[in-house]
Structure 1
Amino acid sequence: MRFEGSKTYVAPKDLQIAVNAAVALERPLLVKGEPGTGKSVLAQEVAEALGTPLIEWHIKSTTKAREGLYEYDAVARLRDSQLGDPRVSDIRNYIRRGKLWDAFVADARPVLLIDEIDKADIEFPNDLLLELDRMEFTVVETGERVMATRRPIVIITSNNEKELPDAFLRRCFFHYIKFPDPETLAEIVAVHFPDLKPRLLKAALETFFELREAPGLKKRPSTSELLDWIKLLVVEDLDPEVIAERSPGKVLPPLHGALIKNEQDVHLFERLAFLDRARR
């Protein structure tokens, strides 16, 4: 089984190599890159391309590593004991399986996505070291030993909000998804908009990269935002000349709210427009 991208996901050669290397080594694939470069979608596409199930664990700031294994609901058991519920005699009725447990016992080798691991507490990655390494854990309350029947393909994403521990990094195969160059981005757009007129594509990409390269930009627009913007351009049936227009004082393209997502960057372009008018 080798990953080579899909009809809906343009995977550069270096990304294909990284996925296949992680699968061969049976190591988690740690993927970093700008938000919106397709890190989370990668797991979905790998699962679809390889014909395997996908199990997704989306991490929040409050997520604890143990939740990935299982959770024991002692409160529910206490409540049921007070109500005389016969289920209290079996503690297993109050143990909820986590995403790692599901991945370990899946009938077919799954893809396990641990999404945005850097959102959690700094100790979160370390708390998973043993389980990801050995692919097993013990349910303390019952003494049950849960072992992976086959090692899942683990894909972990990070937006670099926190540094990850060295011990965790040593156990991963690392890949950084670089922002696509214009040619690759054109391929990505073509996948989503196969009937897009060449003139519109050219105008949209030139305008998009001009915005991304503006000095002082706080948040540069991403691939997903480009796709949203092009969808709006198609819906509004805008002429490519309108998109590419650079008249005095006009530095923001039409429907720029799909690309520029905070007021500081809007003000930046307004100042650029003011300076342009002043020079004239």
Structure 2
Amino acid sequence: MDGAKAASDLRFDGTDDYVATADLTLAVNAAITLQRPLLVKGEPGTGKTVLAHEVAKALGLGLIEWHVKSTTKAQQGLYEYDAVSRLRDSQLGDEKVKDIANYIRRGKLWEAFVADKPTVLLIDEIDKADIEFPNDLLLELDRMEFFVYETGVVVKAARRPIVIITSNNEKELPDAFLRRCFFHYIRFPDADTMADIVEVHFPGIKQALLREALASFYELRDAPGLKKKPGTSELLDWLKLLLVEDIPPEALRAKDAKSAIPPLYGALLKNEQDVQLFERLAFLARRDGR
């Protein structure tokens, strides 16, 4: 069985440490079957990056991560020619300058293409880069090969990696790129799913505390005008603090939905504008007697 077919036979069903919804597991398996990159969007804190880690762990695959920055160029994912080092070595009379291959630095796609075992390749936050970045990878991700001009060598994937690409929707991606991907949007977890996620991280947590904490959390997320809504990681940090400080459930239960800021709110609200907004909402609620 060749590497590509072997990869297409794999099935992802989530892991003990990652609560994957039915539609997410379906999307992962569809991308594997179609042998297309899985493009995952969703607000920060919905587990997009962690998904690649969990897919690799569940399927027993290697993981190669390419974290994209605003200055990242697509070429860096293939290879880079280190002309500066070659010039320096030539000035020193080093014999290795005769072979230009000594100065070709492999990128993350190259590493994934020649990996010894089937691999998950994570291209994280692709929307941070220049708008041309996705288009510059079209052929390489499509054909699973690229040409090294300096050496005249074609690098071809020994086995097709499972490619997972994340985006925070900071900018629109080109249509030609989108056509080559299987797309999935991770919706923010509802209260029942979030309770399952919390149980994974805090087994046996008291249901009264969990119930009140989730009510306060979603209430805060729904406050109009928040600059940054708290995500799953903020909720987990907050719960950890509540447990360490032994905050009782009744301390979270306000008489009115917006009559008080939750204790230890610094784990949930990350800028002064949101703190001031919530304080104003609390003041208005108290003033109106609601």
TM-score under structure 1 length normalisation = 0.97
Gaps of 5+ in 2: 1-9
Q: Which among 180, 183, 192 is matched to residue 189 of structure 2? A: 180
Q: C-alpha displacement at 1:250, in angstroms?
A: 4.6
Q: Return closer, same or farther for 1:87/1:251 CA change in 2, 3 Å cut-off.
A: same
Q: Which among 200, 209, 213 is matched to residue 209 of structure 2? A: 200
The residue identity in structure 1 corresponding to 2:247 is L
Gaps of 5+ in 1: none
**1:185-211 CA distances to partner (integer Å, 9 max, x unpaired)?**
000000000021111111110110110
Equivalent-residue separation in structure 2 for 1:248 and 1:179 (angstroms): 21
Q: Name the structure 1 match of 2:166.
A: 157
**1:47-69 CA distances to partner (integer Å, 9 max, x unpaired)?**
00000000000000000000000
Residues 259 and 283 in structure 2, CA contact (< 8 A), matched pair in contact too: no
Alignment partner of 1:146: what SS?
Answer: strand
**1:157-193 CA distances to partner (integer Å, 9 max, x unpaired)?**
0000010000000000000001111100000000000
Residues 37 and 163 in structure 2, CA contact (< 8 A), matched pair in contact too: yes
Residues 113 and 155 in structure 1, CA contact (< 8 A), matched pair in contact too: yes
Q: Which among 55, 59, 73 is matched to residue 50 of structure 1? A: 59
Q: Which among 78, 81, 95 is matched to residue 86 of structure 1? A: 95
Deviating more after overlay: 190-199 vs 248-257: 248-257
Q: C-alpha displacement at 1:246, in angstroms?
A: 4.2
Deviating more after overlay: 50-59 vs 192-201: 192-201
Equivalent-residue separation in structure 2 for 1:150 and 1:249 (angstroms): 55
Q: Which among 16, 35, 42 is matched to residue 25 of structure 2? A: 16
Equivalent-residue separation in structure 1 for 2:175 and 2:246 (angstroms): 51
**1:55-110 CA distances to partner (integer Å, 9 max, x unpaired)?**
00000000000000001100110011111112211111111100000000111110
The residue identity in structure 2 corresponding to 1:62 is T
Equivalent-residue separation in structure 2 for 1:244 and 1:115 (angstroms): 39
Q: Which among 253, 258, 261 is matched to residue 267 of structure 2? A: 258
Q: C-alpha displacement at 1:274, in angstroms?
A: 2.0
Identity of aligned residues (%): 73
Aligned CA RMSD, in angstroms, stands at 1.3
The residue identity in structure 2 corresponding to 1:146 is V
Residues 259 and 286 in structure 2, CA contact (< 8 A), matched pair in contact too: no
Q: Which among 230, 239, 246 is matched to residue 221 of structure 1? A: 230
1:140 aligns with 2:149: yes
Alignment of 1:67-86 (within 5 A): 67-86=76-95
Residues 248 and 277 in structure 1, CA contact (< 8 A), matched pair in contact too: no
Q: C-alpha displacement at 1:252, in angstroms?
A: 1.0
Equivalent-residue separation in structure 1 for 2:55 and 2:175 (angstroms): 26
